[in-house]
Chains A and B, each alone.
Chain A
Amino acid sequence: MSSDEKLQKGLFWTPRGGNNAKDIWASCHTFSSVTENKQTGLSERTTVIVDLGQHEFPKDFLNGSFDKVVPALGDCLNVPGEKQPEDQARAIFLTHGHSDHVAGIYEYVKMGVPLPTIYASQHTLNALKKGFFENGINSEQWPEMQEIKAGDVIQVGDMSVEAFSASHSIPGCFSFKISNEEESIFHSGDTKADETSYLGKGVNLSSYKKIGRNGGVDLMTFDATATHMAGHASYESEIFNSYRQIFKDNTGKQVIAALPAAHMERLASVISAAQAAGRDVIIHGGASMESNLLALNLSGYDLQKKCPDIRIVSGTSKEAETIDPKKSVTITTGIYREIQSPFVQHLLGKQSDFIMQKDAVIVAPTSNDKNEKLQILLQSKEFENLKVITSSSKYKIYGSGHAQADDFRKIARYIAPRTVAPIHCSSQKADTFNELAFKNGYKTLPIYPHNGVTVGIDRKNGCRIVDRKEPQWIGLIHRGKETSFQKVGDNGYSTAFHDQDLVKARQQAAKQLIADYRNKKNLVNQVSLINRRKNER
């Protein structure tokens, strides 16, 4: 805790990653509380970090100059080569275990930065520890980690951080209520308002009611990844019912269900539906999908125990050969046409051990045009006897782990925030979110709180923008066990939003191309016509 006479009192939030101009990566937020020490009369500051992700597309950043890119936190962590910060972060809280929220931790450890205690669910900590192994970080270098559960309140200086169960695509997710004596912020993390889960727990809305009943919060920072979409993100119970119906409607045929490998809730829903329909399960989606199922086992979500009437086997194992494809479902990857997906490899004629019958039923849920890539593969004459079920079918099979418009309305009603702000989104989605919030009667901030913007809250002034800094990043280069790193500027990745201009420019260019093409075609046509007439004569 640092002392400073000049600091204004209040609770402060600064997004450090995740609130980008476009795309979503490297989620990271700092929260600081500044209070007056009643004995000395000086201001005292306490800071915590919530999530510490890494850029998921480092090749897109600064022409791919770095292997890894993480938010620069030299102002609250002791980064070698930088001045020791006066205001050291005293804890790191993790909302969940996805790489865009936790993988920056490995890079900070590799840089030799001492980290404060990390608080997270058991599942998140398991994922984190696996990452330490994978990154060659020996256990002596691991920071202190402490498991927390929903309902736990951790006191850090004059701040308290309360964990709430959140519903996303993996288990062990939290939202956090961060408070000091006077102000409070509800930070949603990645979430949706789904109370159903085949892994045990969905969102606990009744725990949110408690917040609303106690006066709500000053600010709610909310997952705006998908709030531009109407309705609610599909509930896992809806997904379960759809798959169960698909299995029933296609009795006697092999079903191949393509899913995102990281969507563990969906894996559990589809496996539970298979149990309800009496179909065995072959997992053949690549190493990540198997690893995610192993992660579930480690965290106490043993799907084989939960579904004792069916067999769940790996598609690469000998046991898979003993299962009748017509009485089973093969769960795989490939909806984004991932090149390493065994299913995609098979469709490309490269994978020999993926079993697909000629009249199989393919279930390929997705909401965007990436699906077309898979569709194009399936349109080959070779696969004309396959039945393909996509999101546009009668079955509700698509749903991400992110809140849509109705999820926001539902959660906001319980939390009763005085102001709301978007997180985990692009500028464009932030605008749509603010419009949604405004229409529903919530105050919003005057600007998009992109990375580097600090929002201050105090009882007198409410929420306001108190600082705007150019965000900074640390780019790392790994050569064997050697790590070099340097601080780099944002170069507009967080603050600029030229997409509209780019779209306009592309449209112009496309129009020009079409016009040129038509002119050329007309010219050719005219020449052909003249030639034809000449010949006729």
Chain B
Amino acid sequence: MNDNTAWENIRYWAEVLNEKYPRTDLLSLSDDELKKMLLSFSHTAELPTEKTYYFALKSAWAVVQNGGDDSGEVPDAYI
């Protein structure tokens, strides 16, 4: 899974996960549960070790669940 940390792959995995595990509660999904989900796909190889990878993957999955990325809608500067 060497290049799977690239964003395109994270988005790919988010789509695939959402299809197989629709309406998953991402807020309570542990990294271990997510790893098990990833390993359920036959084409999954080695899993990344970086914790932020799973954070990024869950965030990407949240984008898929919510039907779009709203991150640019309100500028951070005034918050």
Annotate A97-132 by CB proximity to B: 1 below 8 A, 0 otherwise: 011110000000000000000000000001001100
Q: How far is the CA of A339 from the CA of B73 in the complex (A)?
A: 8
B7 and A290 within 8 A (CB): no
With contacts A133-B53, A340-B68 known, what are 4 further pairs, Cβ within 8 A?
A: A262-B79, A286-B68, A294-B26, A316-B23
Q: Is the CB of A336 within 8 A of B74?
A: yes
Number of interface residues of B (CB under 8 A): 36
> Is A260 engaged at the interface, CB distance under 8 Å to the other chain?
yes
Q: Which chain A residues in 292-348 approach chain B with CB under 8 Å?
A: 293-295, 297-298, 304, 312-314, 316-319, 333, 336, 338-342
Pairwise interchain contact A260-B74, C-beta atoms closer than 8 A = yes
Residue of B nearest to A293 (CB): B27
* CB–CB B76/A298 < 8 A: no
Interface flags, B37-69, vs A, CB<8A=1, else 0: 000000000000011110110111011011011
Which of A136, A287, A313, A401 is B6 in contact with, Cβ under 8 Å? Answer: A136
Q: Which of B7, B52, B58, B70 contacts A136 (CB 8 A)?
A: B7
Q: How far is the CA of A134 from the CA of B10 in the complex (A)?
A: 8
Interface size grouping (class) on chain A: 35 or more
User: Do A262 and B76 touch (CB < 8 A)?
Assistant: yes
Known: A130-B52, A340-B73, A341-B70. A400 touches B27 (CB 8 A): no
- Which of A225, A288, A304 makes the CB contact (< 8 A) with B28? A304
Question: Which of A24, A262, A316, A339 gathers the greatest number of chain B CB atoms within 10 Å?
Answer: A316
B interface, over-half SS:
helix
Check B52 against A133 for contact (C-beta < 8 Å): yes
Choose one: B66, B75, B76, B79; the contact of A316 (CB below 8 Å): B66
Kindly count the residue-residue contacts between A and B in the assembled complex, taking CB atoms under 8 Å apart.
145
A24 touches B77 (CB 8 A): yes
A177 at the interface (CB under 8 A from B): no
Complexed CA–CA distance, A453 and B1 (Å): 48
Residues on B lying within 8 angstroms of A by beta carbon are 3, 5-8, 10, 23-28, 50-53, 55-56, 58-60, 62-63, 65-66, 68-71, 73-79
A143 to chain B, nearest CB (A): 15
Q: Mark A51-72, 1 if CB is under 8 A from B, else 0.
A: 0000011000000000000000
Whether B75 contacts A100 by the Cβ 8 Å rule is yes
Give the contacting residue for A56; candidates B25, B58, B70, B77; CB below 8 A.
B77
The 8 Å CB contact of A138, one of B6, B58, B60, is B6
Q: What B residues does A138 contact at CB under 8 A? A: 3, 5-6
Among B6, B62, B79: residue with most chain A CB under 10 A: B79
Query: Contacting A319 at CB < 8 Å: which of B8, B25, B51, B76?
Result: B25
Check if B27 sits within 8 Å of A139, measured CB to CB: no
Contacts of A24 in B (CB 8 A): 75, 77-78
Q: Which residue of B lies closest to A290 (CB)?
A: B62
Question: Do residues A298 and B51 form an inter-chain contact, with CB atoms below 8 A?
Answer: yes
User: Are A139 and B25 in contact, CB atoms less than 8 angstroms apart?
Assistant: no
Chain A residues with CB under 8 Å of B69's CB are 287-288, 340
Contacting residues of chain A (234-277) with chain B, CB-CB under 8 angstroms: 260-263
The answer to whether B25 and A25 have CB atoms under 8 Å apart is: no
* A residues near B62, Cβ cutoff 8 Å: 287, 290-291, 294, 314, 316
Q: Does any Cβ of B come within 8 Å of A148's Cβ?
A: no
Task: Tell me, rounded to whole Å, the shortest Cβ–Cβ distance linking A176 to chain B.
Answer: 19
A287 and B71 within 8 A (CB): yes
Task: Return chain A residues, CB-CB under 8 Å to B27.
Answer: 283, 290, 293-294, 297, 304, 312-314, 317
